[in-house]
Amino acid sequence: KESKKWVLMATARSPTNIAVIKYWGKRDETLILPVNGSISVTLEPSHLSATTTVAVSPSFDRDRMWLNGKEILLSGGRYQSCLREIRRRAEDVKDEERGICIKREDWEGLHVHIASFNNFPTAAGLASSAAGFACLGNVTLFMCSFCPCKLMNVKEETTELSSIARQGSGSACRSLYGGFVKWAMGNKEDGSDSIAVQLANETHWEDLVILIAVVCSRQKETSSTTGMRESVETSSLLQYRSQVVVPRRLIQMEEAIQKRDFPSFAKLTCADSNQFHSVCLDTSPPIFYMNDTSHRHVQLCFLIYCIYVHGEIRLIIGLVERWNQFEGTPQVAYTYDAGPNAVLIAPNRKVARLLLQRMLFYFPPPSEKELDSYVLGDTSIL
């Protein structure tokens, strides 16, 4: 312990999640307490996730953090409050092999270095896409909570961890569980009942296939935090949504998930995404997350397909809506977060294949000539 040479490290991986009933708006910005509950699906960690390593050493003179190799400022209150919460709970940590022992009271005087990388295919550019940024933020902030917890030997239940993660980034608390997860808004002022709970585990509805259509690799113009604040201050639709619509939808969505009722699940998912974006438009000044943008690349993963599409965002919604109407019952669900990238959910592989065929028909992969131009010049899309 006297030597300044030792470094202790821990690594953990966190998946991201996609909300099907959206969180939008805080009633307490410091504790990150939402104006309504939300429900999400956690993606497989092997598909979209971040791996974070935390190191501690007496030779570190301050807390530092890197995202995908780039250092970011830790001056923001959120990182600090997460780290404070974790340090408060930290226990004795021993590495007997190396004769290192950190007592719980030592943690206050030790600094950490955190490095986080996402596993989104680099060529797919998801990491720098609008949705990618949102994912990355959520994942990373969550990892900021979990990873140091592991390192500092924090003995907390998942509920407690979800409350730490929540204070990093609201939606991150839902990534603590796999499967379907609800973040209850809670009523208490101290936020102790605003926690994530698992509604069903990852094996409950295994047939579902999620396809992510990446349409934009630019960072969004309005951050979720700022957007939410402005919506809470100016949108009357948000008040109606949070007080009347979402409480009802949460019950209906829980039921649809329990029963694996895809038509109800799809209707609720699409309706909630559309209402969330309506709230953004109802905000002053209005927020446009679903921009019409370009991109052209095809990247296929296993259960999650990331395809880069080129065209208007409305075309994707139109494609799904027309298909659903033609069949008379929802075949596919779509949902958009605070960015233009589409998340499409199919009830099984058979429908997912059809969906992929249609997507590739409307948004074909790049031509040889286009590929050449990417390789030769426009590296922003790679």
User: Residue 75: phi, psi to the nearest 5?
Assistant: -70, -20
* CB nearer ligand 2P0, residue 17 or residue 217: 17
E strands, 233-341, where?
Answer: 297-299, 304-308, 333-336
* CB nearer ligand 2P0, residue 82 or residue 102: 82
Give the x-and-dash track for 34-73 against ligand 2P0 (CB under 6 A). Answer: ----x-----------------------------------
Give the x-and-dash track for 113-142 against ligand 2P0 (CB under 6 A). Answer: ---------------------x--xx----
User: Residue 202: phi, psi to the nearest 5?
Assistant: -65, -15
Helix (H, G, I), strand (E, B) or coil at 341: coil
* CB nearer ligand 2P0, residue 28 or residue 95: 28
Shortest reach from residue 354's CB to ligand 2P0, in Å: 27
* CB nearer ligand 2P0, residue 223 or residue 264: 223
Residues 300-359 that bind ligand 2P0 (CB under 6 A): 337-338
Residues 160-219 that bind ligand 2P0 (CB under 6 A): 169-171
Report yes or no: 31 and 167 within 8 Å, Cβ to Cβ: yes
* CB nearer ligand 2P0, residue 230 or residue 356: 230
**Chain Cα centroid distance, residue 370:** 31
Shortest reach from residue 281's CB to ligand 2P0, in Å: 14
Cα distance between residue 172 and residue 183, in whole Å: 10
Shortest reach from residue 299's CB to ligand 2P0, in Å: 22
* CB nearer ligand 2P0, residue 83 or residue 351: 83
The DSSP result for 314-334, as a single string, is: HHHHHHHHHHHHHHSS---EE
Cα distance between residue 93 and residue 101, in whole Å: 6
Which residue, 381, 359, 303, 367, is CA-closest to 123?
Answer: 381
Rg, the chain, Cα only:
21
Task: Figure out which of the listed residues 8, 15, 22, 129 binds ligand 2P0, where binding follows CB under 6 A.
Answer: 22
E strands, the chain, where?
Answer: 8-15, 17-21, 26-28, 33-34, 38-42, 49-57, 64-67, 70-72, 93-95, 100-102, 111-118, 180-183, 196-200, 209-214, 297-299, 304-308, 333-336, 342-346
Q: Which helix (H) or strand (E) holds 83?
A: helix 77-89
Reported as half-sphere exposure (CB side, CA atoms, 13 A), residue 95 has a value of: 13
* CB nearer ligand 2P0, residue 334 or residue 363: 334
* CB nearer ligand 2P0, residue 145 or residue 169: 169
Stretch that binds ligand 2P0, among 22-30, 291-299, 304-312, 364-372 (CB under 6 A): 22-30
Shortest reach from residue 31's CB to ligand 2P0, in Å: 11
Shortest reach from residue 171's CB to ligand 2P0, in Å: 3
* CB nearer ligand 2P0, residue 175 or residue 331: 175
Cα distance between residue 147 and residue 154, in whole Å: 10
Strands 64-67 and 111-118, sheet pairing: parallel
Which residue, 26, 22, 33, 21, is CA-closest to 226?
Answer: 26
Task: Figure out which of the listed residues 167, 224, 231, 341 binds ligand 2P0, where binding follows CB under 6 A.
Answer: 224
The DSSP result for 156-193, as a single string, is: --HHHHHHHHHHH-GGGGGGGSSSEEEE-----TT-TT
By beta carbon distance, the residue nearest ligand 2P0 is: 170
Shortest reach from residue 25's CB to ligand 2P0, in Å: 10
| Residue 323 in tokens | 């298909």
Task: Figure out which of the listed residues 19, 65, 287, 333 binds ligand 2P0, where binding follows CB under 6 A.
Answer: 19
* CB nearer ligand 2P0, residue 253 or residue 351: 253
Shortest reach from residue 271's CB to ligand 2P0, in Å: 14
Q: Count of residues binding ligand 2P0 (CB under 6 A)?
A: 17
What residue ranges bind ligand 2P0 (CB under 6 A)? 19, 22-24, 32, 38, 134, 137-138, 169-171, 224-225, 228, 337-338
